[in-house]
Copies of this chain bind each other. A is one copy, B any other.
Amino acid sequence: MEQAETYIDTIMNCKLFKTIEKENIQKLLPCLKAKIIKYNKDQIIFHQGDLIEKVGIVLKGDLLIQGIDFWGNSSILKKLSEHEMFGEIYAFEKKPLEVSIVANTDSTVIFLSLDKILHPCQFSCTFHTSLIVNLLQIFAKKAITMNHKVEILSKRTTEDKLLTYLNSLALQKNSKSFDIPFNRQELADFLIVNRSALSKELMRLKKEGIIDYDKNSFKLLQ
């Protein structure tokens, strides 16, 4: 794993290694059967349907998660950047991948075996416990994020989607006033609605005194 040293700072930033010190991560890597592989732009890293045994972490470049449906239409579901992990759910569940992972630029990826995380090895249990807790947290955070998204998308109208989103932000920040991390187009994409339809709703809700906003600053009114 000589190469791993080159990328150790990126690896450290992956949530899987949270609270584990740099030197201990280096000790862990061989134990997790780490392998580093380079890909050219447009090369396919995992194919839809693959049974994968290792998780990947992006060390350099960025990857795309692509969904391909029965009729052959593909869509980009997410972009993965440096120190982001992928495949962990499917590697763990040993279920065939439902998406493909493709290099969006020339990229470098490190692959780690998850199985080793669950079983004792030659190193102190502290590492293992940290890895397990981190993995649980990654899974839990993913579930919470998806939960929020489902709650929003389960609303039928743009108004309800928008208010559900704003409401969840207000709860999160524990205040009726808050900023949103999106511009209008991004917000529309996030809520899965048309941008101009979103603009209409925003104006209407402001007129009716239900919300107030200026640019990215929003406020929920009584």
Q: Which A positions have Cβ atoms within 8 angstroms of B?
A: 67, 69-71, 77, 89, 92-93, 95, 98, 118-120, 125, 129, 132-133, 135-137, 139-144, 146-147, 149-151, 153-154, 156, 163-164, 166-168, 170-171, 192, 220
- Whole-angstrom CA separation of A127 from B125 in the bound complex: 16
For the complex, would chain A's binding face be called helix, strand, loop or mixed by DSSP majority?
A: helix
CB distance from A93 to the nearest CB of B (A): 5
Indicate which residue in B129, B143, B163 contacts A146 across the interface (CB closer than 8 Å): B143
Residues of chain B within 8 A (CB-CB) of A92 are 136-137, 140
Chain B residue, CB-CB nearest to A153 = B153
A144 in contact with B93 (CB, 8 Å): yes
- Whole-angstrom CA separation of A144 from B97 in the bound complex: 11
A89 in contact with B144 (CB, 8 Å): yes
Besides the contacts A142-B143, A146-B147, what 19 more A-B pairs have beta carbons closer than 8 Å?
A69-B163, A70-B170, A70-B220, A89-B144, A92-B136, A92-B140, A93-B141, A93-B144, A118-B132, A118-B136, A119-B129, A132-B136, A139-B143, A146-B149, A149-B150, A150-B150, A153-B154, A153-B192, A154-B192
Residue with the highest number of chain B CB atoms closer than 10 Å, among A89, A166, A220: A89
Residues of chain B within 8 A (CB-CB) of A137 are 92-93
Residues of chain B within 8 A (CB-CB) of A67 are 151
Residues of chain B within 8 A (CB-CB) of A150 are 146, 149-150, 153
Chain B residue, CB-CB nearest to A194 = B156
Residues of chain B within 8 A (CB-CB) of A167 are 69-71
- Whole-angstrom CA separation of A139 from B171 in the bound complex: 24
- A-B contacts, 14 listed (Cβ < 8 Å): A69-B167, A70-B166, A70-B220, A77-B151, A89-B147, A93-B137, A93-B141, A93-B144, A118-B133, A136-B139, A139-B140, A142-B143, A153-B154, A153-B192
